[in-house]
Structure 1
Amino acid sequence: MPTTRTHAPQIAIVGAGPGGLTCARVLQRHGIDVTVYDRDASADARNQGGTLDLHADSGQIALREAGLLDDFHALARPEGQAQRMLTRHGEVLVDYRPTSDEDAAPEIDRGQLRTLLADSLAPGTLRWGHTLTSATPGPAGTHRLTFDHGVTRDVDLVIGADGAWSRVRPLVSDATPVYTGVTFLEARYDEVDTAHPAVAELVGDGNVFATGDHKGLIGQRNSNQHVRAYIALKDDADWYRAAGIDLDDTDAVRAALLRAFTGWDERLLVLITDNDGPYVNRPLFVLPAPHTWPHTPGVTLLGDAAHLMAPLGGYGANFAMLDGCELALALARHDTHDEAVTVYERTMMSRAAAVGDGAEALAGVFGPGDRDRSDVPDFAEAKERYRQGAAAYRSR
């Protein structure tokens, strides 16, 4: 039941990603008003990226509290949990296939998840087309938010769910993301089963990873016959400038990548040669862990704004959603939002610190030489860990 308050705080969430939307949904289920601001013009104004595996012990717990777990399972792809790992020479190190009832970490497209969460909110909650330009402290822990078209809003609590380059973060911390030394070039393949059968066979129903010699080729199956690949290079974030390459020149980028991957198995190189459209350069940044800050009245962070991690283990979106869920529940259960935020931050910071930023693990995956079977994670053990973690969480 909602907590009775003499004054209902004005709450604003900046950022309509999985964490911010989850927070808003759980708040509304507990009768708490909230407004979400995002710079995108709509939920589908831009491509949301690839696929996410939502873990039973984090992302799925958040969806249960949001009342959306059944809707998620209706959209999710349990078969997407398949994992193949290969050497750069094409040797298969592991070919993990989930059982038909495996539900520890099913996959869902980012765009589908965003739409599911956004559509669950009350009309008028989402304010699209609002880019935050400044957040200024006011009296008694309030903050004034100013957006790019001159709109201002005074709020009692601002929640920064605005990602790696958060405009809210400077209110509590001077930390900024640092480059990991690894860049992903994203590529896409449409109508993959008919137009790109070699890619479809390589990737299968889930994900394929091939790494070695400071490089990697990663393919992931999305819904509706789409595949995304991430071509990993351990190099400068702007490596293409040093090479005199225009990223819009797809042929030049492809030629440079093929030179970098000389000696790799030809069956793997289809992830470089067969893409539809241009490559997108995505250098990987992290917030060095542990990222903590002194409690600051009237403001807090969640997700990448609080703990930006390397994309290994799938913690980013899962932790963001659990952050949003736990913050909303704390706000519903405590008499003041200041008490709620204090309790939330203690738990969130501890959880993120235990995992770390992933930079060291990333350096190991894309290190020198070749991988072997000793480098292969135990995927079945990971699924069991998610299940046990979920049971432990629910029994607290």
Structure 2
Amino acid sequence: MRTRIAIAGGGLGGLTLARILHRHGIDAVVYDREASRSARPQGGALDLHPESGQLALAEAGLADRFQSEARPEGEEHRILDPTGRTLVHHVPQPGSFSGRPEIDRSALRDLLLDSLPNGTVRWGHRLVAATACPDGGWDLTFHDGHRASCDILIGADGARSVVRPLLTDVALSYVATLVELSVEDADRRRPDLAELVGPGNLWCVGANQILAAQRLGDGSLRVGISLRAPEQPLDTYRSKRALLDLFAGWTPRLTALIAAADSPPTPRLIEAMPLGTRWANRPDVTLIGDAAHLMPPVGEGANQAMLDAAELAGRLAADPADPNAAIRGYEESMFTRIHPIAEMSARVQAMMLSPTAADDIVRFFTRPAEPARAD
């Protein structure tokens, strides 16, 4: 009898897991809360790391398609101070995929969705409860009263995971406030801002605050303001005027990213799980991605979620007769791998929003490579 696998959450981690399992001949159903694949915007771009996100796509058989969609020029990174002075300017090797090329989240998600058999993703299924069955497995209840069952439940359902409480009652903490805006069709409508941001990412770093922007594949600019959290109620940041006041004294060349935004500001609180979070293994259930190890958003979250998916899928495929042994092995490996990455992410997050952020970030990005050690 086939093991019925349910994946809660159709983000990058959940879809990568479903894809790699499918390549191994293992069926899985992905339950996603959104009404359809196009129900909401998917956010900005991300850089896929060779040792994690790109490795997972190779396991998924999608490396070539990734290279056709990715933008290696998007790895260009500029860091400025509030006067507009350039502190760091990283320019990647033209056309090279050897680093961390950028890809729009929407393009990466579509790539994964298109690789799955029809019906793998069940849209409009927001999980609200999972109840253990006496003989193993889970009964699943969704927001509309629909019910389903599975033998293995994998929580890939993000920061506010419904599956996580089955394994741990860990509490999240606020680490930052993020306000997002966008400038549409920047090359035509605001060529000055398009030139300022360049083909990749721009960080404008002040004391306890960052004004950032990144170019997306459609020519728009995604603007983000990072602040220490939470210093003011979120509604404070829903006004462009209030945001511009936060950056009083900065050169108008930079604050134009706020003034020119087409969308109203969208603020949200950024949360993280405590360092070293673990749980005792429980049969028939586990977590991947933000559900397992929510970290500050400094470039590791999606990459580690996809690597989680690749490692879990590989273990399940290697030991189909004992999926719980596969889950135990995955969890121990994941806990060991994630701990130093979560520590690094927390340090970078604190550094970015410190009073001395500009000096600290310049040192971070210009530090010499560590010398190779002899074996």
Who is 1:272 aligned against?
A: 258
Which AA in structure 2 matches 1:145? Answer: L
Report the Cα offset of residue 237 of structure 1: 6.6
1:373–1:362 CA distance, 2 compared to 1 (3 A)? closer
Which AA in structure 2 matches 1:165? Answer: R
Who is 1:319 aligned against?
A: 304
CA contact (8 A) 1:93 1:373 kept: no
1:230 & 1:217 partners in 2: Cα distance? 6
Which AA in structure 1 matches 2:304? Answer: F
1:339–1:374 CA distance, 2 compared to 1 (3 A)? closer
CA contact (8 A) 1:61 1:322 kept: yes
The alignment of Structure 1 onto Structure 2 pairs a total of residues equal to 369
Who is 1:136 aligned against?
A: 131
Asked if residue 40 in structure 1 is aligned to residue 34 in structure 2, the reply is: yes
My pick for the range that moved more, 365-374 or 185-194, is 365-374
Q: Percent identity?
A: 44
- 1:193-212 CA-partner distances (Å, limit 9, x unpaired): 01111210111000011112
Which AA in structure 2 matches 1:280? Answer: T
1:345–1:201 CA distance, 2 compared to 1 (3 A)? same
DSSP-derived class of the 2:34 partner: coil
Q: How does 1:50-65 map to 2 (within 5 A)?
A: 50-65=44-59
- 1:46-92 CA-partner distances (Å, limit 9, x unpaired): 00000010011100110001000100100000000000011122221
DSSP-derived class of the 2:335 partner: helix
1:319 & 1:240 partners in 2: Cα distance? 29
Who is 2:68 aligned against?
A: 74
Who is 1:161 aligned against?
A: 156
Who is 2:349 aligned against?
A: 362
Which AA in structure 1 matches 2:346? Answer: A
Unpaired runs of at least 5, structure 1: 1-6, 248-252, 389-396
2:11 & 2:32 partners in 1: Cα distance? 9
CA contact (8 A) 2:229 2:269 kept: no
2:108 pairs with 87, 93, 113, which one? 113
Which AA in structure 2 matches 1:326? Answer: E
CA contact (8 A) 1:198 1:270 kept: no
1:303 & 1:78 partners in 2: Cα distance? 25
CA contact (8 A) 1:165 1:177 kept: no
- 1:2-54 CA-partner distances (Å, limit 9, x unpaired): xxxxx321100000001000000000100111100001112121000000100
1:179–1:189 CA distance, 2 compared to 1 (3 A)? same
DSSP-derived class of the 2:213 partner: strand
1:112 & 1:98 partners in 2: Cα distance? 21
Report the Cα offset of residue 140 of structure 1: 3.6
1:379–1:79 CA distance, 2 compared to 1 (3 A)? farther
My pick for the range that moved more, 23-32 or 281-290, is 281-290
Q: How does 1:341-380 map to 2 (within 5 A)?
A: 341-356=327-342, 358-369=345-356, 371-372=358-359, 375-378=362-365
Report the Cα offset of residue 347 of structure 1: 1.0
Report the Cα offset of residue 376 of structure 1: 4.1
1:362 & 1:347 partners in 2: Cα distance? 25
Which AA in structure 1 matches 2:131? Answer: T
Who is 1:391 aligned against?
A: none
Report the Cα offset of residue 360 of structure 1: 3.7
1:307 & 1:156 partners in 2: Cα distance? 23
Which AA in structure 2 matches 1:120? Answer: S
Asked if residue 179 in structure 1 is aligned to residue 174 in structure 2, the reply is: yes
Tell me how large the CA RMSD over aligned residues is: 2.0
DSSP-derived class of the 2:261 partner: coil
2:177 & 2:325 partners in 1: Cα distance? 40
DSSP-derived class of the 1:372 partner: helix
Report the Cα offset of residue 363 of structure 1: 2.0
Q: How does 1:281-300 map to 2 (within 5 A)?
A: 281-300=267-286
DSSP-derived class of the 2:68 partner: helix
1:100 pairs with 94, 98, 106, which one? 94
Who is 1:302 aligned against?
A: 288
2:145 pairs with 140, 144, 150, which one? 150
Asked if residue 27 in structure 1 is aligned to residue 21 in structure 2, the reply is: yes
1:189 & 1:380 partners in 2: Cα distance? 33
1:213–1:329 CA distance, 2 compared to 1 (3 A)? same
DSSP-derived class of the 1:325 partner: helix
Report the Cα offset of residue 361 of structure 1: 2.5
Who is 2:207 aligned against?
A: 213
DSSP-derived class of the 2:212 partner: strand
Task: State the TM-score, normalizing by the size of structure 2.
Answer: 0.94
Q: Which has the higher contact order (CA 8 A, sep 6+)?
A: 1
CA contact (8 A) 2:240 2:264 kept: no
CA contact (8 A) 1:26 1:325 kept: yes
2:46 & 2:85 partners in 1: Cα distance? 26
2:366 & 2:31 partners in 1: Cα distance? 38
Report the Cα offset of residue 102 of structure 1: 2.5
Task: State the TM-score, normalizing by the size of structure 1.
Answer: 0.89
Which AA in structure 1 matches 2:240? Answer: R
Which AA in structure 1 matches 2:328? Answer: T
Asked if residue 18 in structure 1 is aligned to residue 12 in structure 2, the reply is: yes
1:159–1:97 CA distance, 2 compared to 1 (3 A)? same
2:353 & 2:361 partners in 1: Cα distance? 15
